Structure 1
Amino acid sequence: MSTTGGAPVLGDRVPVLVAAAGEEWEAPALHALGEAGVVVLKRCVDLTDLLASAASGTVGVVVVSGELPGLDADAVLQLLRADVRCLAVGGDAEALGRLGVVHVHPVDDPAGLPGAVRRAVHQDLVVDPDPEPASRLEVRADRGRTIVVHGPAGAPGRTLLATGLAAEHARRGAPTVLVDADPHGGAVAQHLGVLDEVSGLLAAARLVNAGGLDARAFARCRREVAPGLDVLTGLPRPDRWVEARPGVLDAVLDRATEVGDVVVDTGFSLEDDSELGRGLVRNQLTLDAVAAADHVVAVGSAEPVGLARLARTLVDLRDLAPGPVTVVVNRMRDSLGWSRRDVVGMVEGYVRPAGVVFVPDDRVAADRALVAGRSVVEVGGSPLATAVAELHDLVLAGAEVRRSSGGRGRWRCRRP
Structure 2
Amino acid sequence: MSIPVVTVGDSREDLVGRLERLHGPVSIVRRCTELAELLAACQGGLARAAVVAQGSEELTASLVDRLSAVGVAVLALTDSPEEKARLQGIGVDADVTGVDAAALASRITGAVARLAGPDQRLRRAGGAGVVDPGPTPARSGGAVAEGSGPTPGRSGGATAEGPEGSGAGQIIAVWGPAGSPGRTMLAANMAAELAAAGKSVLLVDADSYGASVAAMLGLLDEAAGLAQACRLADQGLLDAEALLRIAAPVVTRAGTFRVLTGITRADRWTELRAAALSLVLARARQVVDVTVIDTGFCLESDEELSFDTMAPRRNAATLRSLELADTVFAVGAADSIGVPRLVRGLAELEAAVPQASARVVLNKVRQSAVGRSPERQLRDAWERYGPTAPLLAFLPADPASSDAALLSGSLLLEAAPDSPLRRGIAALVCAPVQQNSRSSVFSTTAKRRLKG
- TM class by smaller structure: 0.5 to 0.7
1:230 maps to a residue whose letter is: R
Residue 395 of structure 1, CA deviation: 12
C-alpha contact (below 8 Å) 1:146/1:263 kept by paired residues:
yes
Give yes or no for contact 2:272–2:316 (8 Å, CA) kept in 1. no
2:317 corresponds to which residue?
A: 285
Alignment equivalent of 1:148, drawn from 155, 166, 173 = 173
Q: Distance in 1 between matches of 2:395 and 2:335?
A: 13
Runs of 5+ unmatched residues, structure 1: 1-47, 49-73, 76-136, 398-416
Match of 2:427 among 390, 405, 415: 390
Residue 184 to residue 312, structure 1, CA distance change in 2 (3 Å): same
The alignment yields a C-alpha RMSD, in angstroms, of: 2.7
Matched to 2:189, the amino acid is G
Counterpart contact for 1:326–1:395, Cα < 8 Å: no
Query: Does the Cα contact within 8 Å between 1:325 and 1:355 map onto a contact in 2?
Result: no
1:342 to 377, 399, 412: 377
1:367 counterpart residue number: 403
Matched, 1:376 2:412: yes
Contact 1:315–1:350 at 8 Å: present in 2 too? no
Superposed displacement of residue 355, structure 1: 4.7
- The answer to whether structure 1 residue 274 and structure 2 residue 328 are counterparts is no
Distance 1:144 1:351, change over 3 A: farther
Q: Counterpart in 1 of 2:358?
A: 325
Bigger helix share: 2
Alignment CA distance shift 1:347-1:281 (3 Å): farther
Question: Which residue of 2 is the match for residue 252 of structure 1?
Answer: 280
- The code of the aligned residue for 2:422 comes to A
Cα distance change, pair 286–154 in 1 and its aligned pair in 2 (3 A): same
Could you tell me which amino acid in structure 2 is paired with residue 168 of structure 1?
E
1:221 and 2:242 matched: no
The one-letter amino acid of 1:361's match is: A
Q: Once the two structures are aligned, what percentage of the paired residues are identical?
A: 41
Residues in 2 aligned to 1:394 and 1:262: alpha-carbon distance in whole angstroms: 18
The one-letter code matched in structure 1 to 2:419 is: S
Match of 2:337 in 1: 305
User: 1:185/1:396 Cα in 2 relative to 1: closer, same or farther (>3 Å)?
Assistant: farther
> CA 1:139–1:368 in structure 2 vs 1: closer, same or farther (change >3 Å)?
farther
Indicate the residue corresponding to 2:57 in structure 1: none
Q: Is residue 264 from structure 1 mapped to residue 293 from structure 2 by the alignment?
A: yes
Per the alignment, residue 112 of structure 1 pairs with none
Contact 1:302 1:330 in 2 (8 A): yes
Q: CA deviation at 1:189?
A: 0.6
Structure 2: give runs of 5+ residues left out of the alignment. Answer: 1-35, 37-61, 64-135, 140-164, 435-452
Provide the rounded CA distance (Å) in 2 between the counterparts of 1:284 and 1:275. 13
Are 2:212 and 1:212 aligned? Answer: no
Residues 1:396 and 1:143: Cα distance change in structure 2 (over 3 Å):
farther
CA distance in 1, matches of 2:433, 2:301: 29
Residues 350, 356 of structure 2: 8 Å contact kept: no
Q: Distance in 2 between matches of 1:297 and 1:387?
A: 14
Report how far residue 139 of structure 1 moved. 5.3
- The answer on whether the counterparts of 1:314 and 1:350 sit within 8 Å (CA) in structure 2 is no
Check 1:395–1:386 CA distance in 2 against 1; reply closer, same or farther (3 A cut).
closer
Q: 1:321 offset after TM fit, Å?
A: 4.9
Post-superposition shift, 1:347? 3.9
Deviation string for 1:200-257 (max 9, x for gaps)? 1110111022111111221221111024411111110100001112212211111111
Which structure carries more relative contact order (alpha carbon 8 Å, separation 6+)? 2
Asked whether the equivalents of residues 214 and 261 of structure 2 are also in contact (C-alpha less than 8 Å), the reply is yes
Determine whether 1:230 maps to 2:258.
Answer: yes
